[in-house]
Amino acid sequence: MATPQNEKPVLLIVDDDPLISETLSFVLAKRFRVLTADSRARAQLLLQELNAPPELALVDLGLPPLTHLPDEGFHLISELLAYSPDIKILVLSGQNDEVNARHARTLGAIDFIAKPCDPGTLIGHLERALQARRAEVAAQAQAEGDATCGLVGASPPVAKLRQQIAQFADSPFPVLIEGESGSGKELVAACLHRLSSRRRKAFLALNCAAISPTLVEPTLFGYSKGAFTGAQNARSGYFEDASDGTLFLDEIGELPFELQAKLLRVLENGEFQRVGETQTRHSNARIIAATNRDLRAEIRAGRFRADLYHRLSVFTIAVPPLRELAEDKLALLDHFRAFYARQAHVAPFELDQQATERWMSYHFPGNVRELRNIVIRLTTKYAGQNVTAQQLEDELDTQVYAASPLELLTSAEAVTEMARKHLQSQANFNLDQMLKQWERSYVEAALKLTHGNLSQAAKLLGVNRTTLYSRMQSYENAARE
């Protein structure tokens, strides 16, 4: 959603240092409507109170409760993009080693700025990010009615993707979109809606991974006055508001298990109830769901209902990762390079031969979103210039963020021997306390390995995202006591 011209663009600043937040708020207040939060949890609450997402976010990496690590900041980047794929995120952090900077950009941050930063320089970064965002939103609006819906590329996987979108768009049945983060699932969902007979109706999107599990049900189905603490007035939910349009449920694999039966009921007969009501309501919304998880594996693990999966996957579209699109990497480069150079009124950059070869060999873990942000940065830094392989390399995330199970687990014999020695040396051993410490250590290790991505950490630990979220909340509560 674009900000009206007579209103200041909204900037969310998330930093646990009140002096930095207050100083930045004062310096930036002339150009932006500044909102501040001192933690990821407070940022979440703030977003839930807004009528529309912020256009920009300025995020510190070292946030409570782990201020010495970048994990919370990394997770917040993923969370903000899940909440609003259009938001432009800049990282302003003292944890400014190159590994953190590159990974923040891979997750979707448009740029990384080291503390301390000159206010004029910071404003310049924010203004360019805002310009890029508004240009993208305008381009999305122009794509209305375009059969390509902004899909760039001529490779066989992209051709198949276009064919499936055209084939399934006007069906009333659900579509399940599968694909990695940043691959363009939101674009495919919007295209399905635009090419359908519902194009003049509402298109609403909810990311199930970007909202507290306790708020998913009232958000989807609405609630009556007094249904829970804070429900001062009755409110409709997404199913009601979507009416005869389309409801896009992103990251459906994160839907709490206890709510999956209620979603199945709506899919089967269109019936639902607001939280706190007994009155049955009806929705004609067409459901499009998306996931970056293997829902079949989730079913085997008991975390997702098989009947819901089969109901959601009447039609299935697999969005290919960028690493499988061969020459389309160059097509996307040409598309975004021309687009952002035109918006910035500068000459486009060029890649020399070695840089082009590196571009083609790079695996793009952040997919199209990462590619687009790399192009934005190269346009800003090297407008009208030839970019060398080393200059390009500085923008790439070449670290491997993965671990095999053997790296996380030791043998049973070693654990037993360690436990024996520990018991012999401990006078007042408490098994429950020790197990909690081990659990928290594994949770923190998983978050570190996945750089704050809660969904990936839950998958690594073999638990549901809502379970992991609840345990993390219990750690925070215990820390306050």
Domain with 281 in it: what CATH number? 3.40.50.300
3-state secondary structure of 178: strand
The predicted structure's pLDDT at residue 371 = 95
In a domain, 399, yes or no: no
Q: Give the residue ranges of DSSP H helices in 243-327.
A: 257-269, 295-300, 306-312
104 and 22, same domain (yes or no) = yes
pTM exceeds cut of 0.75:
no
On the question of a cis peptide bond just before residue 174, with omega within 30 degrees of 0, the verdict is no
Residue 4 lies in a domain: no
B/e letters for 103-137, b = 16+ CB within 10 Å, e = fewer, are bbbbbbbbbbbeeeeeeeebbebbebbbebbbebe
In a domain, 151, yes or no: no
In a domain, 232, yes or no: yes
Domain-ending residue, one of 115, 142, 169: 142
pLDDT of 58 above 80: yes
Say if residues 106 and 365 touch (Cβ distance below 8 Å).
yes
* 331 and 316 in a common domain: no
Distance of CA 411 to the CA centre of its chain: 36
Q: What CATH number did the domain enclosing 48 receive?
A: 3.40.50.2300
C-alpha–C-alpha distance, residues 325 and 153, integer Å: 8
Other CB atoms within 10 Å distance of the CB of residue 45: 11
Per mean pLDDT, which range of 254-268, 406-420, 459-473 is the poorest? 406-420
Mean pLDDT of all residues in 45-59: 88
- The candidate with the shortest Cα–Cα distance to 73, out of 150, 152, 15, is 15
293-307 residue pLDDT tens: 889 988 988 999 999
Residues 260 and 335 in one domain: no
Domain-terminating residue out of 267, 286, 320: 320
Q: What is the pLDDT of residues 333-381, one digit of tens each?
A: 999 999 999 988 999 999 999 999 999 999 898 899 999 999 999 999 9
Q: Are residues 223 and 262 in the same domain?
A: yes
In a domain, 344, yes or no: yes
So what's the pLDDT on residue 411? 43
pLDDT at 401: 39
Q: Is residue 220 domain-resident? A: yes
Q: Give me the number of domains the chain comprises.
A: 4
Domain, as residue range, for 183 = 156-320
Q: Which residue did the predictor score with more confidence, 5 or 109?
A: 109
Please tell me which residue, 451 or 447, carries the higher pLDDT value.
Answer: 447
The domain boundary, picked from 142, 171, 203, lies at 142
Q: Could you read off the pLDDT of 309-341 as tens digits, one per residue?
A: 999 999 999 999 999 998 899 999 999 999 999
pLDDT of residue 423: 64
CATH of the domain at 354: 1.10.8.60
In a domain, residue 207? The reply is: yes
